[in-house]
Amino acid sequence: MNNRKFLSAMLLTLCLLTSVGSVQAQDSNTPQTGTKQAETKENDTNIETQLYLLVGTNADVPDSRLPTALDPVLKQLRATLPFKNYRLTATMINRVQHHGRLELKWIGGPMTTATGTAPALNPSFSNFNVRLIKLVQANDGQQLVQMQGFNFGTRVPIQVSSTVAANGTVTPVINYEHTGVATDVSMREGEPVVVGTLNIGPSGEAIILVVSAKRATK
């Protein structure tokens, strides 16, 4: 009789230990499952990027209509840079996956303002690259978009001299000069920031790079 009681007690103890071990295993797996689901959801996230190319000029030309999203940037530029007017020369909108990269090349219009014998008909050649785009969280909990390996370059036509034909026709001599900027940048979601300014030759004008990025809604 005592042996039966002892065996029953042993079986009950084994059952309890097995149950506890099963619950602990389930509890230890739950965070891992949640982490994997969060990582999968994060990897499916897309980021919408917007690159604006502005040209600051002292020429007597009217400001072009700029997107309302750039109003804070324009206010900042007017307070810090000595240009009379600003015009928008290009807007690039792209969709990039979280932890993705971006590479663009395009032919655009002239960067400089057409005045006098300036090379008004010569195009510019530009490229924009970002090695890694990702969403990160700041120490204060705010969501940021980080661009690592931000690189913008452009070749702009610069008139260096002119030639005069026998009939008196004046032809400008154009050289293409390269200018650009490479950096790493972080920004708040949806908030445009000035990444840099680039002087573009003897015209005294400058290219102003403005970028913004936010989580894509669809």
Does the pLDDT value for residue 127 go beyond 50?
A: yes
User: Residues 110, 90: contact at Cβ < 8 Å?
Assistant: no
Rounded to whole angstroms, the Cα distance separating 146 from 49 reads 11
Read off the tokens for 213: 């990025």
- pLDDT for 23: 44
- Would you place residue 19 in the very low, low, confident or very high pLDDT band (cuts 50, 70, 90)? low
Does the pLDDT value for residue 59 go beyond 70?
A: yes
Q: Which residues pair with 175 in a beta bridge?
A: 158
Rounded to whole angstroms, the Cα distance separating 77 from 169 reads 41
- pLDDT for 45: 92
- Would you place residue 50 in the very low, low, confident or very high pLDDT band (cuts 50, 70, 90)? very high
User: Residues 74, 88: contact at Cβ < 8 Å?
Assistant: no
Rounded to whole angstroms, the Cα distance separating 200 from 102 reads 25
Rounded to whole angstroms, the Cα distance separating 146 from 183 reads 11
Q: What is the pLDDT of residues 62-91, one digit of tens each?
A: 667 888 999 999 999 999 988 988 989 999
> Side by side, which strands form the sheet with 100-108?
100-108, 124-137, 143-164, 170-188
Q: What is the pLDDT of residues 138-165, one digit of tens each?
A: 888 888 999 999 999 999 888 788 888 8
Rounded to two decimals, the pTM is: 0.74
The listed range with the strongest mean pLDDT (4-8, 59-63, 81-85) is 81-85
- pLDDT for 194: 96
Nearest CA to 155 out of 117, 207, 203, 212 is that of: 207
User: Residues 93, 49: contact at Cβ < 8 Å?
Assistant: yes
User: What's the length of the chain?
Assistant: 218
**Percentage of the chain surpassing pLDDT 70?**
74
- pLDDT for 13: 54
Q: Which amino acid is at 85?
A: N
Name the average pLDDT for the chain: 81
Distances (CA, A) of 91 to 66, 67, 120, 132: 10, 10, 20, 20
- pLDDT for 135: 95
Q: Which residue has the tokens 């900027």?
A: 181
Average pLDDT over residues 110-124: 65
- pLDDT for 210: 97
Number of H helices, E strands in the chain: 2, 8
Q: Is 6 helix (H, G, I), strand (E, B) or coil?
A: helix
Q: Which residue has the tokens 């090349």?
A: 105
